[in-house]
Amino acid sequence: MERLKQKILAEGTVLSDTVLKVDAFLNHQIDPELMEDIGKEFGKRFADDGITKILTLESSGIAPAVMTGLVLQTPVIFARKRKSLTLTDHLYSASVYSFTKEETNEISISQSFISSEDTVLIVDDFLANGQAVFGLIDILEQAKATIAGIGIVIEKGFQNGGEAIRKAGYRVESLATIAELSEGNVAFKEEN
């Protein structure tokens, strides 16, 4: 997705060979019009997959997921990283290790909102090691839902998450795939 790549080049900051900071438009400050375009792009790619629900993870996945839900006319559920007082019983849960934050979070959703009748699109902001996506897949398997695919805003193609998820048989659509981060520069993987 060309507009996204231009935004990454213009406003992303390469902090190291593995860390790309996109706090200016995705992870902290959000560009709503870019999110709308992202929603339209995911909506186009998954238009014919009979999606009934979108599942994402708080917090940075919410904006692209909600814009996708607006296009596909489906509800969006965001998995929570901690349990709240009004969300305690009847949960599907999974453990997710974050290499960025160096901690394990329990992620969970209420069993009320996803069932075996649902065909679910997972949407997330980043795909690196794939821990978050595998946690969301785990939750959907507990719910016996059909997993239509995974929509990722930015995939770090030099880390192993994307390959592992595709090898496990899932369709992954990434809007920008980074081949390499080096010397402060972003190199994108060529699209087919």
State the binding string over 39-58 for a second copy (x if CB under 8 A, else -): -------------------x
Which span (80-88, 120-128, 136-144, 149-157) binds a second copy, by CB under 8 A?
Answer: 80-88
Total residues at interface with a second copy (CB under 8 A):
41
Nearest-angstrom CA–CA distance, 40 and 71: 6
Torsion of CA 80, 84, 90, 96, to 10 degrees: 30
Please report, for residues 18, 44, 45, 98, 141, the alpha-carbon distance to residue 137 in angstroms, rounded to integers and kept in the order given: 24, 22, 20, 16, 6
State the binding string over 87-116 for a second copy (x if CB under 8 A, else -): x------------xxx------xx-xx---
Nearest residue (CB) to a second copy, 113 versus 158: 113
Token digits of residue 152: 């990722």
Minimal distance in Å, beta carbon 145 to a second copy? 14
Instruction: Examine residue 27 and tell whether it contacts a second copy (CB under 8 A).
Output: yes
Nearest residue (CB) to a second copy, 63 versus 122: 63
How many other C-beta atoms are found inside a 10 Å radius of the C-beta of residue 121?
28
Instruction: Examine residue 78 and tell whether it contacts a second copy (CB under 8 A).
Output: yes
- List 9, 15, 47, 168, residue binding a second copy (CB under 8 A): 15
> What does the DSSP assignment read for 113-156?
S--TT-EEEEEEEEESS-HHHHHHHHHHHHTT-EEEEEEEEEEE
- List 10, 84, 167, 185, residue binding a second copy (CB under 8 A): 84
Minimal distance in Å, beta carbon 10 to a second copy? 14
- List 6, 9, 17, 28, residue binding a second copy (CB under 8 A): 28
Query: Own/partner pairs for 174-177, CB < 8 Å, 24+ apart?
Result: 174/127, 175/1, 175/4, 175/38, 175/41, 175/42, 175/151, 176/1, 176/4, 176/5, 176/8
Q: Which residues bind a second copy (CB under 8 A)?
A: 15, 19, 21, 23-25, 27-33, 35-36, 58-59, 62-63, 66-67, 69-70, 73-78, 80, 84-87, 100-102, 109-110, 112-113
